[in-house]
Structure 1
């Protein structure tokens, strides 16, 4: 059984705890967008007995093209996250890409998120660990699930014991990802809660030439499978109109579809706990 990880005073993730949703638009496009998604998601999760953490990125430093929208930047992005956090009384998280960033954002965010491409970056892991915040590490598309043991050892060696491990698909040839559901129990044996990233798992990196594509129609089937296998939290990027989103639109789900998806997923989660 994995240990539980406490995220602020509102959320505790782990075996025996309620299902947790980490969700929001891929990148901070505006305060109004973030508030709309966070407010609606928070209400839906409360009604369904799901814990909720709002996620959106102040900077997407790994966009396919240098001309793609990256976000508001640290200062303005943190301002949006802080307002959302206090107005809705919910925990927030965001990506970090540079080792100097955890110190700058630790006063606002409740959970540090390490992008998959950077999961082996020792200096970044050390800075995240030393922030004193829980750390969610996405498994690199290039890693086998058992290789995440080395990531865990790095974090614990730097004093971090509040760790989440996220599956987001593995590279399968060019411009394709595949989810090996064996990774979920394999990573869970490392003793920490496991998260399934349902929207990045259907991404097609670089699929549109100068930007990524995706297949959002497969988000729900993969999420159902992951919840049935046994996860502690679910990661989804959500947008009112994904086709007009400034980042990751093709793999994000529509805000209006979220409630129906979550009703199905929480019922599967409850059944899996009984089993």
Structure 2
């Protein structure tokens, strides 16, 4: 089985360069979204790396009922359409309900299944039938081998365009830990694997009415994942993380991205030579 998939003009998988999935946790406003997307496109061009822009139109799983969730589906998809038109990057965003899939699939290149919903059969099946690439974040409560059942649900629904994303596993209260073996185990399922470094340093609910985070460890975990072997890296980024309306404590500032990526790409180039092909 070929461990690769194509997203817009980007191919992810063995034999292809590392891809960066990046953007703010949630769409805050149109102007900032376009600025961040433009910055990421230029960064990708400078470093020769494919960029997929991510931002959520609705964060339905915020800790508090009063937390900012985003502009909603209609306005959020309109803003993401502007990103595609003006900046030209492929798009990824979360879906939480079956009713969101059809309108989202008209705009997005990748439909993302949030970790908390990774076992929701009806949502997985409906997303698969959209024909779009489906990125499933491994639930914090799942073992990596449990993702084989997730893959089967999508494949049996007629879609083999799948990404599997590691984002840490629950480790006691308000803490996550990354078992790097999971990257190897999920990659053996025949689909590209992504490491979500910024959510892996999240402290879920750690601030009482919001999640806390430890962004100082994003670089170390990203380098470790690249050394293990991954096809994509997932970072939430912001112009001013301390002022972000969602996931600021685990988001990266834009001016930190280039030096981190340069190190990671060097590791990826070295490791990729030694990973056997699934072809």
TM-score by length of 1: 0.98
- Any idea what SS the aligned residue of 1:89 has? coil
Aligned residues: 274
- Any idea what SS the aligned residue of 1:68 has? coil
**Is contact 1:214-1:250 (8 Å) kept?**
yes
Stretch deviating more after TM superposition (252-261 or 142-151): 252-261
CA distance in 1, matches of 2:45, 2:11: 15
The aligned residue for residue 68 of structure 1 is: 67
Is 1:16 equivalent to 2:15 in the alignment? Answer: yes
How far 1:13 moved relative to its partner? 0.5
The aligned residue for residue 3 of structure 2 is: 3
CA distance in 2, matches of 1:187, 1:105: 26
CA distance in 2, matches of 1:151, 1:12: 22
CA distance in 2, matches of 1:266, 1:44: 13
CA distance in 2, matches of 1:2, 1:208: 43
Q: Deviations over 1:20-46 (max 9, x none)?
A: 000000000011111111111111111
- Any idea what SS the aligned residue of 1:237 has? strand
CA distance in 1, matches of 2:185, 2:85: 37
Q: Deviations over 1:177-207 (max 9, x none)?
A: 0000000010011000000001000000000
How far 1:88 moved relative to its partner? 1.1
**Is contact 1:169-1:178 (8 Å) kept?**
yes
**Is contact 1:24-1:54 (8 Å) kept?**
yes
- Any idea what SS the aligned residue of 1:246 has? coil
Is 1:270 equivalent to 2:260 in the alignment? Answer: no
The aligned residue for residue 193 of structure 1 is: 192
CA RMSD for the aligned pairs? 0.8
Segments of 4+ in structure 1 off by > 4 A? none
Matches within 5 A, 1:205-244: 205-244=204-243
CA distance in 1, matches of 2:174, 2:129: 35
CA distance in 1, matches of 2:262, 2:30: 27
**Stretches of structure 2 lacking an aligned partner (at least 5 in a row):** 275-279
**Is contact 1:100-1:127 (8 Å) kept?**
no
Q: Deviations over 1:56-98 (max 9, x none)?
A: 0000000000000000001100011000011111101100000
How far 1:102 moved relative to its partner? 1.0
CA distance in 1, matches of 2:273, 2:156: 36
CA distance in 2, matches of 1:266, 1:46: 14
- Any idea what SS the aligned residue of 1:208 has? coil
How far 1:2 moved relative to its partner? 4.7
